[in-house]
A = this chain, B = another copy of it.
């Protein structure tokens, strides 16, 4: 007998992944959470029937969401991550030598628990003494950030813009994030597929440009996400995100266990195919 997981990534396109076993299933207060063991990709986390990551390729999303903004910043000592309770982005952020403190604001504590139980290689950083896990709604949390607690970098590691993450794709939220950043702060968010979410990406980039004066889109290739090509949007108050900051000169990137990211990939991820460039044209 063969068992398959199906995800309809659009109404008319989807993927199928052969599963060995359902390791866990529950409805938390916020979403449906399933952990599968698969033949092709190792263990896999699924929230509300959308694949978040698989063990075999989680490194791509986590490295690229975390490291591109962090290595654009001169000395990102304090980092705020909204979402990402699995700990993958935390693990990557801890590779930056300047990071002293990470606040992780996750609305659903069950994601943290389940990641610790089933994905120790992803969640390990959550126990680092520099990391504080805050169980809260990211939107409400941002409104309460005080002047002397502002962040160097804010990262939005959200699910798709439906359900609990919907508000994380709105202008009010982006404005609160800007206010919670120091005067040389950097904001970055995952912003869906350039093939299937053109209007969303265009809208977000317009808002980020309004707020920061400039918006930068970069891409990575993530096999289990719709279309494989994925986008991230950066707003930066001071630093150019297209290059790693000179403060990392001499850093031995080869020692950081990076399977996707490198200083060269950092820069080239901002070089976009023409059809993606078109999305952000005024």
Inside 8 A of A267's CB, which chain B residues have their CB? 271
Q: Check if A258 is an interface residue, CB within 8 A of chain B.
A: yes
Decide: B18 and A11 in contact? CB cutoff 8 A: yes
Q: Once the chains are docked, how many angstroms separate the CA of A265 from the CA of B271?
A: 6
The total of chain A residues at the interface (CB under 8 A) is 40
Q: Check if A227 is an interface residue, CB within 8 A of chain B.
A: yes
A-B contacts, 14 listed (Cβ < 8 Å): A11-B18, A12-B40, A13-B15, A13-B40, A15-B16, A59-B275, A219-B221, A221-B229, A221-B273, A228-B228, A259-B274, A262-B274, A265-B271, A265-B272
Decide: B10 and A40 in contact? CB cutoff 8 A: yes
Assuming the contacts A60-B273, A259-B274, A274-B259, asked whether A38 and B12 have C-beta atoms less than 8 A apart, the reply is yes
A266 nearest CB neighbor, chain B only = B271
Q: Once the chains are docked, how many angstroms separate the CA of A8 from the CA of B39?
A: 13
- For residue A254, give the distance in angstroms from its CB to the closest CB of chain B: 9
Inside 8 A of A259's CB, which chain B residues have their CB? 273-275
Decide: B260 and A264 in contact? CB cutoff 8 A: no
Inside 8 A of A59's CB, which chain B residues have their CB? 275
A253 nearest CB neighbor, chain B only = B274
List A residues at the B interface (Cβ < 8 Å).
6, 8, 10-18, 38-41, 57, 59-60, 195, 219, 221-223, 227-229, 258-262, 264-265, 267-268, 271-275
Inside 8 A of A261's CB, which chain B residues have their CB? 273-274
Inside 8 A of A18's CB, which chain B residues have their CB? 11-13
- For residue A23, give the distance in angstroms from its CB to the closest CB of chain B: 17
Q: Once the chains are docked, how many angstroms separate the CA of A8 from the CA of B273?
A: 28
Decide: A265 and B260 in contact? CB cutoff 8 A: no
Decide: B16 and A14 in contact? CB cutoff 8 A: yes
Inside 8 A of A275's CB, which chain B residues have their CB? 59, 259-260
Residue among A59, A260, A268, A272 having the largest count of chain B Cβ atoms under 10 Å: A268
Residue among A15, A59, A223, A273 having the largest count of chain B Cβ atoms under 10 Å: A273
Decide: A271 and B260 in contact? CB cutoff 8 A: no
Decide: A195 and B57 in contact? CB cutoff 8 A: yes
A13 nearest CB neighbor, chain B only = B40
Inside 8 A of A258's CB, which chain B residues have their CB? 274
Q: Once the chains are docked, how many angstroms separate the CA of A273 from the CA of B219?
A: 12
Known: A14-B16, A221-B227. 12 other contacts (CB 8 A): A10-B40, A11-B18, A13-B17, A13-B18, A13-B40, A14-B15, A16-B16, A223-B229, A227-B228, A261-B274, A262-B273, A265-B274
Q: Once the chains are docked, how many angstroms separate the CA of A18 from the CA of B12?
A: 5
Inside 8 A of A40's CB, which chain B residues have their CB? 10, 12-13
Decide: B11 and A16 in contact? CB cutoff 8 A: no
